Amino acid sequence: MGHRTRWLMGGLVGMVVLGLLWPGSTGSQTKSEQKPLDRPATPPDDGKLRILCFGAHPDDCELQAGGAALLWARKGHHVKFVSVTNGDIGHWRDAGGPLARRRKAEVEQAARILGITTEVLDIHDGELLPTLENRRTITRLIREWKADIVMSHRPNDYHPDHRYTGILMQDSAYMVAVPNFCPDMPPLKSNPVFLFYPDSFQKPNPFRPDVAVSIDPVMETKLDALDTLESQFYEGGALGSADLIPTDPKKQAERRREIRTRFASRNQGVAQRYRGNTDRVVRQGQGREGTSRRGVRDLRIRSSPR
């Protein structure tokens, strides 16, 4: 019997595991140019969930939340990914504006596959700080989307951009409802559910999942979306090299298969790690008045503080 792939979300989240927060030519195949996605407007108040996922770089949300985003989007819910930095140093050869534009185009292509919207903020990769200005930016984005669910990295992480993305979301979690903070934009009437993505860090506290979401039905499509992020995976990103890029077409195809298999195994590993250790497994999502929505709120009340 094969392993089930699940996506996990944990305490502030394949299984998707989530946790609750308490208030140039490279040898790669070229792709046809796509028209850039317009900046998404506030989704309609149509009774569907509005989910906002923050990632430090243009690939983090796709890795951490791509499967759950697909499940939500296919049910008509409104999902938006936000990269808090532009990824302009995330390659061993390319950098600056050209790389930032390339990575933005990559996540826009991934968003088309996932059926979601995406935005990349113009903050330099590796230079994100938890400033008041950035807290206001994150707060405004959450209010603008009128988010029901917000997700991000945990604040304990090896990468400063990951840490500070988590801190900025955490610092905005209360402020989104405060009328006189960013008074130019109406506050939320109901505070969202805030979730952290899973990770393996043990100090100062290990990740503990609260919710597990099976992404078996959409795993192959998630892998299709990750295939579009060539600068990071096929070419190796910041720590890659020209040695990773074969010139022979057969070897290029082999490398693509290798990367796809690696990501499938990575998701299976996350599922296996947290199997049986969650408070609740969610298999199907419903509308804002459905059982899934109430279940998340109930879970938030029952979970013990970290």
Q: Which residues pair with 194 in a beta bridge?
A: 150
Q: What average pLDDT score do residues 220-227 get?
A: 98
Q: pLDDT category, 16, cuts 50, 70, 90? A: low
Query: Following DSSP, what letter does each residue of 166-193 receive, concatenated?
Result: HHHHHHHHHHTT-TTSSTTSPPPSSPPE
Q: Which DSSP category does 159 fall into?
A: S
Where is average pLDDT lowest: 72-76, 80-84, 286-290? 286-290
Contact 18, 274 (CB under 8 A): no
Query: Using one digit for the tens of pLDDT, what is the confidence trace for 99-134?
Result: 999 999 999 999 999 999 999 999 999 999 999 999
Count of Cβ atoms closer than 10 Å to residue 13 Cβ: 32
What backbone phi and psi angles, to 5 degrees, belong to 69? -60, -40
Helix (H, G, I), strand (E, B) or coil at 196: strand
Looking at residue 18, its pLDDT comes to 64
Q: Which DSSP category does 77 fall into?
A: -
Comparing 29 with 126, the larger pLDDT belongs to: 126
Query: Using one digit for the tens of pLDDT, what is the confidence trace for 192-223?
Result: 999 999 999 999 999 988 888 889 999 999 99
Q: Which DSSP category does 12 fall into?
A: -
Looking at residue 283, its pLDDT comes to 52
Rounded Cα distance between 79 and 62, Å, is 12
Q: What percentage of the chain's residues is helix, strand, coil (to nearest 5)? A: 40, 15, 45
Query: Using one digit for the tens of pLDDT, what is the confidence trace for 150-179?
Result: 999 999 999 999 999 999 999 999 999 999
The closest alpha carbon to 209, from 72, 306, 292, 295, belongs to 306
Radius of gyration, alpha carbons of the chain: 19
Rounded Cα distance between 166 and 83, Å, is 12
Helix (H, G, I), strand (E, B) or coil at 294: helix
Looking at residue 294, its pLDDT comes to 33
Contact 136, 182 (CB under 8 A): yes
